[in-house]
Amino acid sequence: MPEHLLTNANIHTLDPQRPHAAAIAIRDEKIVAVGTEAEARAALPSAHATDLRDQTVLPGLIDAHMHMEWYSTGLQAVNAETPTRDECLRRVQAKARTTPRGAWITGYGWNQTLWGGFPTAADLDAVTQEHPVFLRAKSGHAGWANSLALKLAGITAATPDPHGGEIQRDAQGEPTGILLEDAMGLVSAHVPTPTVDELADRMRPAMENAWKFGLTGVHDFDGQRSLRAWQILRERGQLGLRVVKTIRVAYLDHAIGLGLRSGFGDDWIRLGNVKVFLDGALGPRTARMIEPYEGEPGNYGIVVTDPEEFYEHASKAAQFGLAMTTHAIGDKVNHDLLNVYAKVRSEETARGLARLRHRCEHVQILHPDDYARLGQLNVIASMQPIHATSDMLMADKYWGLRRSAGAYAWRTQLNAGAVLAFGSDCPVESLNPFLGIHAAVTRRRADGSPGPGGWYPEQRLTVNEAVRGFTLGAAYAGYMEDKIGSLQAGKLADVIVIDRDIYSGDPMDIKDTQVLGTMAGGEWKHRTF
């Protein structure tokens, strides 16, 4: 029976009854005692103690919004975002050495303006002719293929340009290897989609990264293939993250037909909420706004799912015990979704239904009239603190200073009584949750900008509030707050050891935190000591 007795530790338990402790006793997958060394020893008298030498211990962190298939696939790809073409070619060559002959090499991130012009198929041919290669540009508007990839796609001098795209050609009319806009599809259609078993293989290094960052749980927002891959990992005995998997709204009727309810599952895999996209995003100025974008009088953003349709989904899902979640960025869609949730809440009450754990993803900007409504309606605010500091300049520019005061406003949400569940939106941002905790506490970027107070400093959280978003808050959003999210006897032993006390040091150093050990279910998944 595996036992762990961790002593001489600086433990922040997240248990409000006993926020601080010095020792923790673990038997099998559960915590049996948290407290003084004597209390922990009494629970496990024969266990060998591990002296943590005053290192800091936290509950395993949970990322409440990430994309596992997207992230895992990206880890396999060549990072083509390099200052020179030669460096990019070196990376392709290195990848080719570890890739079976004939298998595709893909990548993303090159920029011809940094490289003094477009590269060619011949450049890639010089590093491999045995693998088809296709690398997308950072802009998203061009792709770069080698000769084998062009051949597999059947692209020759005789191939006409497709509608909406262009095959770049040299003076002799031969394809150069550069495909613009919709011509990229001629090649990308030949890049095979990994099987679900292959996806499970790709998830393993992604899980290892998660452990190195101190994560023991994730809420996965990718498609249903990844749910199958998670189950394959579990069948193989390789699953070491607690997973909450969202359900695409396209499968709502299937989920109802199968009799599934949000929260169904066990300690490793649970079904989460039904996910609907309501609008676009800040960067492309497609988030739906009440007033137009600054300097663009006609642009209010776009609606992806209108409120009536969202209401139909939400009302139906709630009747069958399925909670909703929404991608909602702009203040207009957030306003509309809160109206829908208000209606669904009154239906839940009238019909005597369970009050479901509906949530909202991003909560990026709210109108002042709506600030308090998530809390009032008990809608979970699933936010990604790192987006605030990444987006702050864009937010001020596109939304203006007056509206930005209500953007990424987690202090406002917390004070209004909403549960905060924090995540990364990885791979949009790094999977490292300490970057999120840093952003939530400081409202500053890693380089210190925009200055000592941070961006809208009134929105800063305490360290404990920020950690709570990545532990108990995320656990609640995943129907598991009775099992994980704090260090208490009876809970599952998801524990991390970090190299500094983020509660007492300079908040600007939180971003540099290194994880020394990550234990999930009583097993060390990552350990450096």
- Dist CA 12 CA 509 (whole Å): 18
CB of 322 to Zn ion, least distance (A): 20
209 contact partners, CB below 8 Å, separation of at least 6: 75, 431
Cα-based angle 91, 92, 95 (whole degrees, multiple of 5): 85
Q: Which is nearer to Zn ion, 220 or 465 (CB)?
A: 220
To the nearest whole angstrom, how small is the minimum distance from the Cβ of residue 395 to Zn ion? 18
Give the three-class secondary structure for 444: coil
In angstroms, what is the minimal distance from the CB of 70 to Zn ion? 9
Tell me the closest approach of the beta carbon of residue 220 to Zn ion, in angstroms: 10
Distances (CA, A) of 379 to 287, 326, 342, 356: 20, 11, 10, 9
The length of the chain is 529
| Minimum distance of Zn ion from residue 248's CB (angstroms) | 13
d(CA 108, CA 126): 19
324 C-beta neighbours (distance < 10 Å), count:
28
User: How far is Cα 117 from Cα 119, in angstroms, rounded to an integer?
Assistant: 7
What is the smallest separation between the CB atom of 124 and Zn ion, expressed in angstroms? 32
Q: How is residue 336 written in tokens?
A: 């509309």
Which residue's CB atom is positioned nearest to Zn ion?
Answer: 425
Query: Other CB atoms closer than 10 Å to residue 407's CB: what's the count?
Result: 23
Which DSSP category does 486 fall into? Answer: S
Closest to Zn ion by CB, 425 vs 465, is 425
CA distance 483 to 423: 19
Q: How far is the CB of 286 from Zn ion (least distance, A)?
A: 15
Measured CA to CA, the distance from residue 362 to residue 373 in angstroms comes to: 15
Least Å distance between CB 335 and Zn ion? Answer: 21
Tokens representing 318 are: 């709630």
CB 134 within 8 A of CB 162: no
For 6, residues 6+ apart whose C-beta sits below 8 A from its C-beta are 23, 24, 25, 26, 40, 49, 50, 52, 57, 495, 497
- Give 33 or 365: the residue with its C-beta nearer to Zn ion: 365
Going by C-beta distance under 8 Å and a sequence separation of 6 or more, which residues neighbour residue 421? 64, 65, 219, 359, 380, 381, 382, 383, 469, 473, 474, 476, 477
Residue 340 · residue 290 · CB < 8 Å = no
Instruction: Using the minimum distance from each CB to Zn ion, give the nearer residue, 33 or 243.
Output: 243
Between 55 and 305, CB nearer to Zn ion? 305
In the complex with Zn ion, which residue's Cβ is closer, 110 or 470? 470
Rank residues 134 and 221 by Cβ distance to Zn ion and give the closer one: 221
Q: Considering the complex, what minimum distance in angstroms separates the CB of residue 277 from Zn ion?
A: 10
* Residue with tokens 């994560």, as numbered in its chain: 215
- Which of 221, 408 has the CB closer to Zn ion? 221
Residue type, 459: Q
CB of 65 to Zn ion, least distance (A): 6
Residue number, 330 or 507, with CB nearest to Zn ion: 330
Q: How far is the CB of 425 from Zn ion (least distance, A)?
A: 4
Of 32 and 395, which CB lies nearer to Zn ion in the complex structure?
Answer: 395
State the minimum distance, in angstroms, from the CB of residue 195 to Zn ion: 24
Whole-angstrom distance, CA of residue 522 vs CA of residue 215: 14
Question: Mapping DSSP to helix (H, G, I), strand (E, B) and coil, where does residue 125 land?
Answer: helix
Smallest gap from residue 280 Cβ to Zn ion (A): 13
Q: Which stretches of the chain bind Zn ion, using CB under 5 A? A: 221, 425
Shortest distance, position 229 Cβ to Zn ion, whole Å: 18
**Phi/psi zone of residue 473: left (φ > 0), alpha (ψ -120 to 50 degrees), beta?**
alpha
Whole-angstrom Cα distance, residue 467 to residue 473? 9
Alpha carbons 179 and 168: distance in angstroms, whole number: 6
How far is CA 269 from each of CA 220, 232, 389, 426, rounded to the nearest angstrom? Answer: 10, 11, 32, 19
